[in-house]
Amino acid sequence: MRVTVFLLLSTLFFNATANQNTTCDSQLLVSSWKNNNVKIYDGCDYRFIKDLDTKGTLKGPQAIFQDHNGDVIVISEGNHQIVKYDGKTLKEINIVIPAGHIENPISAVLEGEFHVLIHSYAENSIYRYDMRDWQRTDTLLAKGNKHIKGIDLGPNFGPEGMLYVPGYDSNNIIKIDPKTKHVSEFISADLGINRPRTILWRGNKAYVSGWGNANIFELNIQGQITRIMFPTVTGASALLLDGTDHMLISSDRKNSIYRYGFKDGKAEVLIQEDKEHLDASTYVYRLINH
């Protein structure tokens, strides 16, 4: 009898441990621009789970990030609004910035604990918002400026604290001092990076997705190309750090997500041409489960 009970308890413990070990600690959120939804994938085996939006709130989703409370924020470019989802349940909470405030918002950069910089593709503007009440507190780059055209998916802060902003239509990248608002050009169209969508900094090296070149470029802090990362990445869009040694890459034309290792130089395909669920996969974000 004791042996039977021991074996039964051992089996239950083994099964419980196995179930814990197979539970993934993250999910990938992928913006499917033409499907007007964000697709949720398992963060370990990368199988499709479900759609994020169940109410038809999103239209042309772009950048995804988390606020100071851990809730998920999605920029809905097509209907000019920004939507909040519960960080744990992923249920829609509310529209934090409704239509009529920013025309075609596309990207965001967190600034400190409570603030975020929201970028507009159509206005070529950048606004500072306080995420505690979602009120606009400042304008970093005014609407209709002549420095850039078509602010795109991936502005980012550089190692010296400057904000680097890619211009999809102007084929340049500008940098802005967030304190003085002084604007200068980091790279011009003459460098040959066509349709830059994202600039991602890792130390003193920048990685730029050139959508028109079908390449990802490595640049030094002087704005010189030091390496072409891949022979071809058709539709290279968003670039995001995935831990300290990897980078997530979205391809909006291949409907694919890649993971690149900085140390070994290898690119792993996480989601490969998922035409069943994706149509123009512009952005990817890893959500850590807590």
Q: Distance between CA 64 and CA 31 in Å, rounded?
A: 8
Q: Distance between CA 160 and CA 158 in Å, rounded?
A: 6
Q: Distance between CA 223 and CA 249 in Å, rounded?
A: 21
Q: Distance between CA 89 and CA 87 in Å, rounded?
A: 6
pLDDT above 60 (res 12): no
Q: Distance between CA 44 and CA 168 in Å, rounded?
A: 32
Interacting residues of 251 by C-beta distance below 8 A, sequence separation 6+: 233, 234, 235, 236, 237, 257, 258, 281
Domain ranges of the chain: 24-288
169-198 pLDDT tens trace:
999 999 999 999 999 999 999 999 999 999
193-217 pLDDT tens trace:
999 999 999 999 999 999 999 999 9
Percent of the chain with pLDDT over 90: 88
Give the three-class secondary structure for 72. strand
Tell me, what DSSP letter sits at residue 60?
S
Tell me, what DSSP letter sits at residue 268?
E
pLDDT above 70 (res 10): no
Q: Distance between CA 180 and CA 140 in Å, rounded?
A: 9
Q: Which CATH number fits domain 24-288: 2.40.10.10, 3.40.50.300, 2.120.10.30, 1.10.8.60?
A: 2.120.10.30
Specify the range with the lowest mean pLDDT, choosing from 95-109, 167-181, 223-237, 250-264: 223-237
pLDDT score for 21: 47
pLDDT above 90 (res 142): yes
281: which strand partners? 32
pLDDT above 60 (res 36): yes
pLDDT score for 290: 74
Q: Distance between CA 47 and CA 96 in Å, rounded?
A: 30
68-121 pLDDT tens trace:
999 999 999 999 999 999 999 999 999 999 999 999 999 999 999 999 999 999
The token duo for 269 is: 């395909």
Q: Are 116 and 26 spatial neighbours (Cβ–Cβ below 8 Å)?
A: no
Of 18, 14, 12, 54, the residue nearest 36 (C-alpha): 54
Tell me, what DSSP letter sits at residue 192?
-
pLDDT score for 208: 97
What would the 3-class secondary structure string for 114-175 be?
CEEEEEECCCCCEEEEECCCCEEEEEEECCCCCCCCCECCECEECCCCCEEEEECCCCEEEE
pLDDT score for 206: 98
